[in-house]
Structure 1
């Protein structure tokens, strides 16, 4: 009877109900559409001037930005949620201005309340004594040193402590904050921690922390998210896969070793079942990227589910493409735009990942530094100054070189040379890739594509796609069925509403035919 009831509830709960998904099973949640637009941030100025400088310069260079992280320190003391007005004079107007510019605000936090702080205006949190007196901290309020000072960590196993904490989050959510960068603090409070549920391992405690924040945020705004660590070399697994709308792996340097370590962390997270995985371009600290390293970092990041650029190692120099010149700006613009154009595909792959309980990155290989982004796109990372690389194709299907149109067999091993603009990208023969094209930056379309649903198609035999088409900026979607029959040279579409579609159909010579159609359900020959 219980299984029947669960099945009935599942039928009632559509993709619009991420809250139930996040609480009821181990699958990664559906990430909102907006997270698949490029993110930026800096950890240097840490003020409104730095925020607006970044957004202004990216947009002036016609590079898309969908979100910005306001990192620490932004508050008077850590996690008191009171803005430092000397850094951010009018937070409400700032968040509104960013949103008007198409940029969502994501705020940094940890679960710690401090008596000593490294770089905030106030050393001691005004909440510290209250938290201790109420029993809202782990380890009976015993203070520990962590990377931002000394203090206590909130006991998220305690419902009253969590309720109090959520009331603090609400102040920012009301301003229009879209999500949280939930950073590590819990790992500094002992291998075992005393909680309201008794003593438990730090590993068992961590999910309470991340889950409390994501559940409350989704309750207030179903299209919000949290960015947290899946697997990280800096402490192992943090949040559970079912609680992370976006998974990132911590801090890396900007050199080749940093890129390789980040790829290793991302692939480990993917193999554990984390869904929407993020790459932080140029790393966070230590060595800065060279020109070549920055280009290859950016290209790899653009072909991950979530693309983030920011850090403390050259935030206003080597993290910015125009620092390296117009040619690198052009390359970065191309890949950031391609990433944005792929956002409908990424969203649909994210829904599939949720439904299957798998990652958006498939068949990731630590040895080959390669992965599939969904089922249709295969990527090989370039991880040295050498532009020549050996590529082993996936073990099934035929794969078409994005640049040349040449087809390679399953498992085939090839050696190719790439210039700075090009990157090893291969499309599966038979692929149907939904895209959002608004310009001519990538050469796939132009401004006449605005407002229309584009499908990039590589016909082979009969292929079909259940496209989970986003209906807004968040997690809601409608399903569209697309069937391509290469033998009959026909395409069929079944949708619930009238769709104005552009079909970009590749032939065996790499030429592209453009066909426009509109309707709910229709078929045509090409």
Structure 2
């Protein structure tokens, strides 16, 4: 009987999936030898010009969906102009006039829709901004450290442009964007043909920002729903912890009845190459963790999820425990003790890493990885391949392929399209009121690129001591942030364990963490809504009050 029920369920599921597939279409409204226009939604068009007649059907880093729901539109192609009209806009292109320019292409609002007129070259005036790769060394919006490559000391942080603007329209140029190669086993990066083509997306939405984001997910993909445990409390501290010290820490959380879901183990868990400095390592430090498997088993017995910090950039050195296996896979003689370089675009190398190093540690109990990539922004072997963007994809997609559990990653923002690989690590901000003041705004603008799961170093990272009042306020902000994780740089005076503060602050901190768990069912439900609709947990007030100037001016409210 049970087998029959299972079979019936599978058949029904197949029918539903089939129906869903039948409801999706290419929606190509017009195509000739050199141009192709696709209606993604009533507010979104894809516009392609291919001088050699070869259009791109592969997924791109930005656009991973090529099939869309039915859209009601009208096409007029008689005469000299092609005209496509939806409920929100009208596009006109002059036939056989070559690449798109301000002379042969125009998109404008239809009567009754939010008014605009756009031609190629027209610039937005009211972009509502997106996010940025890192807050490393930032004191509020100002760079105070010289060791960070993104900005110079004293410079103000310039957030990337986002998907939304008060202009009521947005334009995305994907003409130079890298593609996926359609490998059914594991899709990998490939360069786009250098044929002088244009691959554009135009979005018209007026001030219906929520609809714009949902339309974006139609071609750019959804925000994955993180596992339930991600919305609990995370403990993280850059400290030379030993196995015993971690066990004492966990015992104290239990004694003080403070809930904890995720333990973040920073980079000192592993050895680094002696005499060479650096942060890369793949072998447990047996001085601190004599029995790594036993340590991980203990954490599992305490219902904790574990992530380890990785700085992969320096590759795999000869002293690593699994070096021999890696070397053989890569065709390197292990006797040469030659370091195996980390090359993100090398699928053979990445496969070997998961087979020989990362996969076995996952079997021992590591739940997800903290990718702390900071060095070398671009791959040495593939032009324009962002190391940050691609390493995020490689790790997340590997988890999708190999694991039965819902994948999660903890990493730095790599650019448009990285919303498909949560959760973000915002970097090493300065311990200051300025930093605390800036982070609510930083949370909310990230939703404008669907990057809805920033994890900040609550309480700040860079500093010499902790102000209990500041830290308590910061933690309260963290309870109303997507991810609640404390962290700090290595320093004896930067201990944020709740019980090291006096009773007044300890009680407030404890209660703040416990209140997070009271809100968790609501937070998790709204995270599912984010998956469905593209609306982040923490979003700006102008999503709901787009005509109120206060919704734009009071930027720390979300």
User: In the alignment, which residue of structure 2 is the partner of 1:182?
Assistant: 371
- Change in 2 beyond 3 A, CA 1:24/1:32: farther
User: In the alignment, which residue of structure 2 is the partner of 1:211?
Assistant: 393
User: In the alignment, which residue of structure 1 is the partner of 2:383?
Assistant: 200
Match of 2:351 among 148, 151, 163: 163
Structure possessing the higher radius of gyration over alpha carbons: 2
User: In the alignment, which residue of structure 2 is the partner of 1:41?
Assistant: 236
8 Å contact from structure 2 (residues 427, 456) kept in 1? no
Displacement of 1:166: 1.1
User: In the alignment, which residue of structure 1 is the partner of 2:259?
Assistant: 64
Normalized per residue, the structure richer in strand is 1
TM-score (norm 2): 0.53
SS in 2 for 1:345: helix
SS in 2 for 1:181: strand
Matched, 1:242 2:420: yes
- Change in 2 beyond 3 A, CA 1:45/1:316: farther
**Paired residues, number:** 338
User: In the alignment, which residue of structure 1 is the partner of 2:47?
Assistant: none
Matched, 1:5 2:21: yes
8 Å contact from structure 2 (residues 262, 306) kept in 1? yes
Displacement of 1:98: 1.5
RMSD: 4.1
Displacement of 1:54: 2.5
Match of 1:95 among 283, 291, 296: 296
User: In the alignment, which residue of structure 2 is the partner of 1:83?
Assistant: 284
Task: List alignment gaps of at least 5 residues for structure 1.
Answer: 11-18, 117-121, 137-142, 144-150, 231-235, 366-374, 376-393, 398-408, 416-423, 427-526
8 Å contact from structure 1 (residues 38, 307) kept in 2? yes
8 Å contact from structure 1 (residues 110, 182) kept in 2? yes
User: In the alignment, which residue of structure 2 is the partner of 1:228?
Assistant: 411
8 Å contact from structure 1 (residues 113, 127) kept in 2? no
Identify which of structures 1 and 2 has the higher relative contact order when contacts are C-alpha pairs closer than 8 Å and 6+ apart: 2
Displacement of 1:278: 2.0
Matched, 1:395 2:545: yes
- Change in 2 beyond 3 A, CA 1:56/1:317: farther
8 Å contact from structure 1 (residues 43, 71) kept in 2? yes
SS in 2 for 1:201: coil
Displacement of 1:346: 1.3
Q: Deviations over 1:98-135 (max 9, x none)?
A: 1222211111113223589xxxxx97897499669938
8 Å contact from structure 2 (residues 283, 320) kept in 1? no
Task: List alignment gaps of at least 5 residues for structure 2.
Answer: 1-17, 26-64, 66-185, 188-216, 273-278, 333-337
Displacement of 1:285: 2.4
User: In the alignment, which residue of structure 1 is the partner of 2:456?
Assistant: 279
Q: Deviations over 1:326-358 (max 9, x none)?
A: 111111111111111211111111111111223
Matched, 1:312 2:494: no
Matches within 5 A, 1:417-456: none
